[in-house]
């Protein structure tokens, strides 16, 4: 994309398995920086990207849950005001645009609700808020999907495993799951 002279499109990381799909507002930064990066624009852009990506893989109107940043989604401002001042207004703006987004919900329970079928996707504010539930369900089946690109990009949901390279210990399951996801996403676009 950069070779074409254009700016790269805004993208988001999604980790997915058969039970849960989680899109992140912020990714690989220190928690203190991640909290500072949670902004109205970042949340709204994440909702737009998640909605468009789901539509591209065949879900015309995905039900998107938005996890809060603070315990109990801020408990009405008792544990922080990010939900009131940043996250809820971004959700409302997305809803005006036709995105079926709801929340912010307490991050300690929203993933269970999504896993039980109440939502198709969960938007989480930070890396660990969103990825711990997906990885807990099984790293071997997780897929990292980059949303917002004009092409399909998937990878295993874990790192390179250089620490076990050449020892015959690596489990290719996540790679196989990533290839299956890519195939299905391409078929949905056709």
pLDDT tens string 67-96: 999 999 999 999 999 999 999 999 999 999
Other Cβ atoms less than 10 A from the Cβ of 54: the count is: 24
Q: Which residues of the chain have pLDDT under 70?
A: 1-5, 159
CA triple 121-117-128, angle to 5 deg? 45
Quick one: which of 24, 28, 30 has its CA closest to 12? 24
**pTM of structure:** 0.92
Range of the domain at 94: 7-160+168-189
Q: How many structural domains compose the chain?
A: 1
Q: Which phi-psi region, left, alpha or beta, contains residue 166 (left: φ > 0; alpha: ψ -120 to 50)?
A: left
Residue 2 lies in a domain: no
Residue 1 lies in a domain: no
Q: What is the pLDDT of residue 188?
A: 85
Residue 56 lies in a domain: yes
Other Cβ atoms less than 10 A from the Cβ of 15: the count is: 23
Residue 33 lies in a domain: yes
């Amino acid at each position: 994309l950069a070779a074409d002279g254009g700016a790269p499109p805004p993208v988001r990381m999604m980790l997915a398995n058969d039970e849960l799909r989680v899109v992140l507002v912020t990714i690989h930064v220190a928690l203190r920086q991640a909290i500072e990066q949670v902004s109205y624009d970042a949340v709204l852009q994440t909702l737009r990207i998640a909605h468009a990506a789901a539509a591209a893989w065949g879900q015309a109107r995905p039900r998107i849950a938005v996890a809060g940043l603070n315990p109990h989604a801020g408990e009405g401002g008792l544990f922080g005001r990010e939900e009131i001042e940043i996250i809820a207004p971004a959700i409302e703006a997305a809803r005006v645009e036709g995105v079926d987004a709801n929340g912010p919900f307490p991050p300690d329970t929203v993933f269970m609700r999504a896993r039980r079928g109440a939502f198709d996707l969960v938007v989480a504010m930070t890396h660990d808020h969103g990825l711990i539930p997906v990885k807990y369900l099984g790293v071997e089946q997780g897929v990292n999907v980059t949303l917002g690109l004009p092409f399909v990009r998937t990878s295993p949901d874990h790192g390179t495993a250089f620490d076990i390279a050449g020892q015959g210990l690596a489990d290719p399951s996540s790679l196989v799951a990533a290839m299956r996801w890519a195939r299905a996403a391409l078929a949905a676009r056709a």
